Structure 1
Amino acid sequence: MSNKMKKILIVVNIVLLFVITGFSAQKEESYKKLDSYFYLELRPVDPRSLLQGDYMTLNYDILDQTTEFIYQNKSYDYYEEEKKEETEQERERRELAEAKKAYIAIRLDGNKVAKFVKLAKEKTDEKDLLFIAYKSNGYSVDINANSYLFQEGTGDKYENARYAKVVLVDNKLRLIDLRDKDFKEIK
Protein backbone atom coordinates (compact mmCIF):
# COMPACT_ATOMS: atom_id res chain seq x y z
CA MET A 1 0.00 0.00 0.00
CA SER A 2 1.41 3.38 -0.96
CA ASN A 3 2.02 6.23 1.47
CA LYS A 4 -0.62 8.32 -0.28
CA MET A 5 -3.22 5.59 0.24
CA LYS A 6 -2.25 5.22 3.92
CA LYS A 7 -2.70 8.97 4.46
CA ILE A 8 -6.12 8.89 2.78
CA LEU A 9 -7.22 5.98 4.99
CA ILE A 10 -6.02 7.78 8.12
CA VAL A 11 -7.92 10.96 7.16
CA VAL A 12 -11.07 8.94 6.34
CA ASN A 13 -10.86 7.13 9.70
CA ILE A 14 -10.42 10.41 11.60
CA VAL A 15 -13.39 11.97 9.81
CA LEU A 16 -15.52 8.88 10.55
CA LEU A 17 -14.48 9.02 14.21
CA PHE A 18 -15.56 12.66 14.48
CA VAL A 19 -18.86 12.00 12.69
CA ILE A 20 -19.70 9.02 14.89
CA THR A 21 -18.69 10.84 18.08
CA GLY A 22 -20.70 13.92 17.07
CA PHE A 23 -23.76 11.82 16.26
CA SER A 24 -23.51 10.01 19.59
CA ALA A 25 -23.16 13.28 21.52
CA GLN A 26 -26.10 14.81 19.64
CA LYS A 27 -28.22 11.75 20.42
CA GLU A 28 -27.40 11.97 24.14
CA GLU A 29 -28.15 15.70 24.17
CA SER A 30 -31.52 15.07 22.49
CA TYR A 31 -32.55 12.97 25.50
CA LYS A 32 -32.28 16.07 27.68
CA LYS A 33 -35.04 17.73 25.65
CA LEU A 34 -37.58 14.93 26.13
CA ASP A 35 -40.66 15.81 28.18
CA SER A 36 -40.99 12.25 29.45
CA TYR A 37 -38.46 12.76 32.24
CA PHE A 38 -38.93 11.69 35.84
CA TYR A 39 -36.88 11.62 39.01
CA LEU A 40 -35.23 8.83 40.94
CA GLU A 41 -34.64 9.39 44.64
CA LEU A 42 -30.96 9.06 45.52
CA ARG A 43 -29.48 7.19 48.46
CA PRO A 44 -26.10 8.00 50.05
CA VAL A 45 -23.39 7.85 47.42
CA ASP A 46 -19.61 7.72 47.04
CA PRO A 47 -18.53 11.17 45.81
CA ARG A 48 -15.11 10.43 44.34
CA SER A 49 -12.78 8.05 42.52
CA LEU A 50 -9.03 8.62 42.59
CA LEU A 51 -8.41 6.65 39.40
CA GLN A 52 -11.18 8.04 37.22
CA GLY A 53 -11.34 11.64 38.40
CA ASP A 54 -14.28 13.24 40.09
CA TYR A 55 -17.51 11.36 39.77
CA MET A 56 -20.35 10.19 41.93
CA THR A 57 -21.49 6.59 42.16
CA LEU A 58 -25.26 6.77 42.29
CA ASN A 59 -27.53 4.58 44.35
CA TYR A 60 -31.29 4.86 44.09
CA ASP A 61 -34.18 4.14 46.42
CA ILE A 62 -35.70 1.77 43.84
CA LEU A 63 -32.42 -0.18 43.66
CA ASP A 64 -32.39 -0.63 47.43
CA GLN A 65 -35.90 -2.06 47.25
CA THR A 66 -34.99 -4.29 44.29
CA THR A 67 -31.91 -5.62 46.08
CA GLU A 68 -33.96 -6.23 49.23
CA PHE A 69 -36.49 -8.26 47.19
CA ILE A 70 -33.68 -10.32 45.65
CA TYR A 71 -32.04 -11.06 49.01
CA GLN A 72 -35.34 -11.98 50.66
CA ASN A 73 -36.47 -14.30 47.88
CA LYS A 74 -33.27 -15.80 46.53
CA SER A 75 -32.64 -19.46 47.15
CA TYR A 76 -29.78 -20.19 49.54
CA ASP A 77 -29.60 -23.97 49.52
CA TYR A 78 -26.82 -24.82 51.93
CA TYR A 79 -28.19 -28.22 52.85
CA GLU A 80 -30.29 -30.28 50.46
CA GLU A 81 -31.94 -32.23 53.27
CA GLU A 82 -33.38 -29.01 54.74
CA LYS A 83 -35.16 -28.10 51.52
CA LYS A 84 -38.84 -27.46 52.02
CA GLU A 85 -41.63 -27.67 49.53
CA GLU A 86 -42.27 -24.21 48.16
CA THR A 87 -45.62 -22.79 47.16
CA GLU A 88 -46.29 -21.55 43.62
CA GLN A 89 -45.98 -17.94 44.82
CA GLU A 90 -42.67 -18.67 46.58
CA ARG A 91 -41.34 -20.38 43.44
CA GLU A 92 -42.32 -17.39 41.26
CA ARG A 93 -40.69 -14.95 43.68
CA ARG A 94 -37.52 -17.06 43.83
CA GLU A 95 -37.30 -17.32 40.03
CA LEU A 96 -37.77 -13.56 39.74
CA ALA A 97 -35.11 -12.93 42.38
CA GLU A 98 -32.68 -15.20 40.53
CA ALA A 99 -33.38 -13.72 37.07
CA LYS A 100 -30.38 -12.21 35.30
CA LYS A 101 -32.59 -9.72 33.42
CA ALA A 102 -35.97 -8.36 34.47
CA TYR A 103 -37.86 -5.11 34.99
CA ILE A 104 -38.47 -2.75 37.88
CA ALA A 105 -42.05 -1.53 37.70
CA ILE A 106 -42.45 2.03 38.96
CA ARG A 107 -45.25 4.53 39.34
CA LEU A 108 -44.72 8.30 39.34
CA ASP A 109 -46.06 10.43 42.17
CA GLY A 110 -47.33 14.02 41.82
CA ASN A 111 -43.77 15.37 41.62
CA LYS A 112 -42.77 12.82 38.96
CA VAL A 113 -40.68 10.89 41.50
CA ALA A 114 -40.49 7.17 40.74
CA LYS A 115 -41.90 4.87 43.41
CA PHE A 116 -41.10 1.16 43.44
CA VAL A 117 -44.13 -1.03 42.73
CA LYS A 118 -42.78 -4.51 41.96
CA LEU A 119 -40.37 -6.57 39.90
CA ALA A 120 -41.55 -8.27 36.73
CA LYS A 121 -40.09 -10.76 34.26
CA GLU A 122 -41.91 -9.05 31.41
CA LYS A 123 -43.49 -5.68 30.74
CA THR A 124 -47.25 -5.56 31.12
CA ASP A 125 -49.98 -3.15 30.06
CA GLU A 126 -50.83 -2.15 33.62
CA LYS A 127 -52.00 1.43 33.79
CA ASP A 128 -49.59 4.13 35.01
CA LEU A 129 -46.62 1.75 35.32
CA LEU A 130 -43.24 2.32 33.72
CA PHE A 131 -40.75 -0.53 33.37
CA ILE A 132 -37.01 -0.07 33.81
CA ALA A 133 -34.85 -2.90 32.49
CA TYR A 134 -32.17 -4.16 34.86
CA LYS A 135 -29.44 -6.76 34.94
CA SER A 136 -28.43 -8.67 38.02
CA ASN A 137 -25.59 -11.00 38.87
CA GLY A 138 -27.55 -12.28 41.85
CA TYR A 139 -26.18 -9.69 44.25
CA SER A 140 -25.97 -6.29 42.57
CA VAL A 141 -28.47 -4.63 40.26
CA ASP A 142 -27.50 -2.47 37.27
CA ILE A 143 -29.93 -0.04 35.63
CA ASN A 144 -27.43 1.65 33.32
CA ALA A 145 -27.33 5.02 35.12
CA ASN A 146 -24.99 4.41 38.00
CA SER A 147 -22.48 7.27 37.92
CA TYR A 148 -22.34 10.99 37.32
CA LEU A 149 -19.16 12.71 36.17
CA PHE A 150 -18.45 16.29 37.16
CA GLN A 151 -15.67 18.81 36.85
CA GLU A 152 -12.72 18.23 39.14
CA GLY A 153 -12.95 20.17 42.39
CA THR A 154 -16.72 20.77 42.18
CA GLY A 155 -17.82 17.71 44.15
CA ASP A 156 -18.96 19.71 47.19
CA LYS A 157 -21.99 21.14 45.43
CA TYR A 158 -23.23 17.64 44.54
CA GLU A 159 -23.34 16.54 48.18
CA ASN A 160 -26.87 17.97 48.37
CA ALA A 161 -28.14 15.95 45.40
CA ARG A 162 -31.40 14.21 46.30
CA TYR A 163 -32.79 13.27 42.88
CA ALA A 164 -31.51 12.16 39.51
CA LYS A 165 -33.44 13.44 36.52
CA VAL A 166 -33.72 10.60 34.01
CA VAL A 167 -35.56 9.61 30.85
CA LEU A 168 -36.53 6.13 29.81
CA VAL A 169 -35.39 5.22 26.28
CA ASP A 170 -36.14 1.69 25.10
CA ASN A 171 -36.59 0.50 28.72
CA LYS A 172 -33.14 1.83 29.66
CA LEU A 173 -32.44 4.86 31.78
CA ARG A 174 -30.52 7.87 30.53
CA LEU A 175 -29.24 10.19 33.24
CA ILE A 176 -29.87 13.87 32.50
CA ASP A 177 -28.63 15.66 35.62
CA LEU A 178 -28.78 15.78 39.41
CA ARG A 179 -31.30 17.81 41.40
CA ASP A 180 -31.54 19.13 44.95
CA LYS A 181 -34.43 18.56 47.39
CA ASP A 182 -36.48 21.25 45.60
CA PHE A 183 -35.91 19.62 42.17
CA LYS A 184 -33.59 22.44 41.07
CA GLU A 185 -30.73 21.47 38.78
CA ILE A 186 -27.34 21.46 40.46
CA LYS A 187 -24.90 23.40 38.26
Structure 2
Amino acid sequence: MNAKIMIIWLIMVIMFLNYAIYEKERIRGSSDSVFLSIDTVIYRSFIGDDYALLKYDIEKTIPDKDIVSSPDRGYIVIGVDDNKVAHFVRVYAGETLSLNERLIRFHKNKRSINIVPNSFFIQERSIENYKKSKYAIFNFGKSGEYVLAKLADKDKKYIKLSTI
Protein backbone atom coordinates (compact mmCIF):
# COMPACT_ATOMS: atom_id res chain seq x y z
CA MET A 1 0.00 0.00 0.00
CA ASN A 2 2.77 2.45 0.89
CA ALA A 3 4.53 1.78 -2.42
CA LYS A 4 1.36 2.66 -4.34
CA ILE A 5 0.96 5.92 -2.42
CA MET A 6 4.61 6.81 -3.05
CA ILE A 7 4.22 6.12 -6.77
CA ILE A 8 1.08 8.26 -6.93
CA TRP A 9 2.88 11.11 -5.13
CA LEU A 10 5.88 10.75 -7.44
CA ILE A 11 3.66 10.95 -10.51
CA MET A 12 1.90 14.03 -9.12
CA VAL A 13 5.23 15.77 -8.40
CA ILE A 14 6.53 14.98 -11.89
CA MET A 15 3.29 16.28 -13.45
CA PHE A 16 3.51 19.49 -11.40
CA LEU A 17 7.15 20.08 -12.39
CA ASN A 18 6.41 19.40 -16.06
CA TYR A 19 3.52 21.86 -16.00
CA ALA A 20 5.72 24.53 -14.36
CA ILE A 21 8.37 24.02 -17.05
CA TYR A 22 5.70 24.14 -19.77
CA GLU A 23 4.37 27.47 -18.42
CA LYS A 24 7.85 29.06 -18.30
CA GLU A 25 8.62 27.87 -21.83
CA ARG A 26 5.30 29.26 -23.04
CA ILE A 27 6.18 32.67 -21.57
CA ARG A 28 9.74 32.43 -22.91
CA GLY A 29 8.31 31.93 -26.41
CA SER A 30 6.07 34.98 -26.06
CA SER A 31 6.54 37.82 -28.52
CA ASP A 32 6.10 40.53 -25.87
CA SER A 33 9.79 41.26 -25.21
CA VAL A 34 11.17 44.14 -23.16
CA PHE A 35 14.83 45.21 -22.95
CA LEU A 36 16.30 46.28 -19.60
CA SER A 37 19.71 47.94 -19.75
CA ILE A 38 22.27 46.12 -17.58
CA ASP A 39 25.87 45.92 -16.46
CA THR A 40 27.03 42.33 -16.16
CA VAL A 41 29.60 41.44 -13.52
CA ILE A 42 31.14 37.96 -13.45
CA TYR A 43 32.06 36.45 -10.08
CA ARG A 44 33.55 33.18 -8.94
CA SER A 45 31.57 31.51 -6.16
CA PHE A 46 33.01 29.69 -3.15
CA ILE A 47 32.23 26.34 -4.76
CA GLY A 48 34.31 27.31 -7.80
CA ASP A 49 31.53 28.01 -10.28
CA ASP A 50 31.13 31.28 -12.14
CA TYR A 51 27.98 33.33 -11.94
CA ALA A 52 26.73 36.49 -13.58
CA LEU A 53 25.41 39.33 -11.47
CA LEU A 54 23.02 41.59 -13.38
CA LYS A 55 23.03 45.20 -12.26
CA TYR A 56 20.01 46.79 -13.91
CA ASP A 57 20.47 50.45 -14.85
CA ILE A 58 16.82 51.07 -14.01
CA GLU A 59 17.61 50.38 -10.33
CA LYS A 60 19.80 53.51 -10.25
CA THR A 61 16.92 55.71 -11.42
CA ILE A 62 14.56 54.87 -8.56
CA PRO A 63 14.26 57.92 -6.27
CA ASP A 64 15.42 57.50 -2.67
CA LYS A 65 11.97 58.48 -1.35
CA ASP A 66 10.46 55.54 -3.28
CA ILE A 67 13.10 53.16 -1.94
CA VAL A 68 12.54 54.23 1.68
CA SER A 69 8.75 54.01 1.46
CA SER A 70 8.59 50.71 -0.47
CA PRO A 71 8.01 47.29 1.13
CA ASP A 72 10.84 44.74 1.39
CA ARG A 73 9.40 42.86 -1.58
CA GLY A 74 7.08 44.14 -4.23
CA TYR A 75 6.78 45.34 -7.80
CA ILE A 76 7.95 48.37 -9.70
CA VAL A 77 6.10 49.66 -12.72
CA ILE A 78 8.22 50.01 -15.83
CA GLY A 79 7.25 51.90 -18.94
CA VAL A 80 8.18 50.54 -22.35
CA ASP A 81 9.16 52.97 -25.10
CA ASP A 82 8.87 52.48 -28.88
CA ASN A 83 12.24 50.69 -28.94
CA LYS A 84 11.00 48.22 -26.29
CA VAL A 85 13.46 49.61 -23.73
CA ALA A 86 12.16 49.84 -20.16
CA HIS A 87 12.35 52.84 -17.82
CA PHE A 88 11.22 53.32 -14.22
CA VAL A 89 7.74 54.79 -13.71
CA ARG A 90 6.81 54.19 -10.05
CA VAL A 91 6.62 51.65 -7.25
CA TYR A 92 3.46 49.60 -7.72
CA ALA A 93 0.66 50.30 -5.24
CA GLY A 94 -2.20 48.35 -6.83
CA GLU A 95 -3.23 50.88 -9.46
CA THR A 96 -4.30 49.91 -12.99
CA LEU A 97 -1.49 49.73 -15.55
CA SER A 98 -1.59 51.43 -18.93
CA LEU A 99 -0.91 49.47 -22.12
CA ASN A 100 2.81 50.29 -22.21
CA GLU A 101 3.47 49.46 -18.54
CA ARG A 102 4.65 46.19 -17.00
CA LEU A 103 5.37 44.96 -13.48
CA ILE A 104 8.82 43.74 -12.43
CA ARG A 105 9.41 42.08 -9.05
CA PHE A 106 12.00 43.50 -6.65
CA HIS A 107 13.65 42.83 -3.31
CA LYS A 108 14.73 45.77 -1.18
CA ASN A 109 18.04 46.07 0.61
CA LYS A 110 18.67 48.84 3.13
CA ARG A 111 19.50 51.45 0.50
CA SER A 112 18.54 49.96 -2.85
CA ILE A 113 16.02 47.96 -4.78
CA ASN A 114 17.17 44.87 -6.69
CA ILE A 115 15.17 43.58 -9.63
CA VAL A 116 14.62 39.82 -9.65
CA PRO A 117 16.30 37.77 -11.10
CA ASN A 118 19.66 39.40 -10.59
CA SER A 119 22.11 36.49 -10.77
CA PHE A 120 22.57 33.02 -12.23
CA PHE A 121 25.30 30.43 -12.75
CA ILE A 122 27.06 30.43 -16.12
CA GLN A 123 29.20 28.11 -18.20
CA GLU A 124 32.88 28.79 -17.66
CA ARG A 125 33.73 28.71 -21.37
CA SER A 126 31.20 31.44 -22.21
CA ILE A 127 32.36 34.16 -19.80
CA GLU A 128 33.47 36.51 -22.59
CA ASN A 129 30.04 36.31 -24.22
CA TYR A 130 28.35 37.26 -20.95
CA LYS A 131 30.64 40.27 -20.57
CA LYS A 132 29.32 41.63 -23.90
CA SER A 133 25.75 41.77 -22.64
CA LYS A 134 24.19 45.21 -22.30
CA TYR A 135 20.50 44.26 -22.20
CA ALA A 136 18.45 41.64 -20.38
CA ILE A 137 15.49 40.54 -22.47
CA PHE A 138 12.35 39.76 -20.50
CA ASN A 139 9.40 38.04 -22.16
CA PHE A 140 5.99 38.77 -20.66
CA GLY A 141 2.95 36.51 -20.68
CA LYS A 142 -0.62 37.70 -21.11
CA SER A 143 -1.36 37.81 -17.39
CA GLY A 144 1.81 39.73 -16.47
CA GLU A 145 4.16 36.91 -15.53
CA TYR A 146 7.66 37.20 -16.99
CA VAL A 147 10.86 35.29 -17.66
CA LEU A 148 14.41 36.45 -18.25
CA ALA A 149 14.67 34.96 -21.73
CA LYS A 150 18.00 36.10 -23.19
CA LEU A 151 20.77 38.65 -23.07
CA ALA A 152 21.61 41.07 -25.87
CA ASP A 153 24.55 43.26 -26.88
CA LYS A 154 24.58 47.05 -27.25
CA ASP A 155 22.83 46.73 -30.64
CA LYS A 156 20.04 44.61 -29.07
CA LYS A 157 21.20 41.48 -30.90
CA TYR A 158 20.86 38.20 -29.03
CA ILE A 159 24.09 36.90 -27.60
CA LYS A 160 24.79 33.23 -28.20
CA LEU A 161 25.92 32.06 -24.79
CA SER A 162 26.51 28.34 -25.19
CA THR A 163 29.92 27.25 -26.43
CA ILE A 164 29.07 23.56 -26.66
TM-score higher than 0.5 here? yes
Partner letter of residue 104 of structure 1?
Answer: I
1:175 is displaced (CA, Å) by 0.8
After TM superposition, the score normalised by the length of structure 1 is 0.69
Q: What amino acid does structure 1 have at the position aligned with 2:70?
A: A
Amino acid of the residue matched to residue 162 of structure 1? K
Which residue number in structure 2 is paired with residue 107 of structure 1? 79
Structure 1's 52 and 153: CA in aligned 2 closer, same or farther, altered over 3 A?
same
Query: Counterpart amino acid of 1:38?
Result: V
The alignment's C-alpha RMSD in Å is 2.7
TM-score computed with the length of structure 2 as normaliser: 0.77
Count of equivalent residues: 158
SS of 1:130 mapped into structure 2 = strand
* 1:173 Cα deviation after fit: 4.1
1:178 aligns with 2:139: no
Q: State the partner residue of 1:98.
A: 69
Is 2:7 the partner of 1:8? Answer: no
| Correspondent of 1:28 among 19, 24, 28 | 24
Of 104, 112, 132 in structure 2, the residue corresponding to residue 160 of structure 1 is: 132
Structure ID, larger Rg: 1
More helix per residue: 1
- The ranges of structure 1 where at least 4 consecutive aligned residues each deviate by more than 6 angstroms after the TM superposition are none
SS in 2 for 1:153: helix
Alpha-carbon offset, residue 166 of structure 1: 0.4
Provide the C-alpha distance between the structure 2 equivalents of 1:166 and 1:113, rounded to a whole number of angstroms: 10
Q: Higher relative CO (CA 8 A, sep ≥ 6), structure 1 or 2? A: 2
Q: Using a 3 Å threshold, how does the CA distance of structure 1 residues 24 and 128 change in structure 2: closer, same or farther?
A: closer
Unaligned runs of 5+ in 1: 74-92
Q: Which has the larger share of strand? A: 2
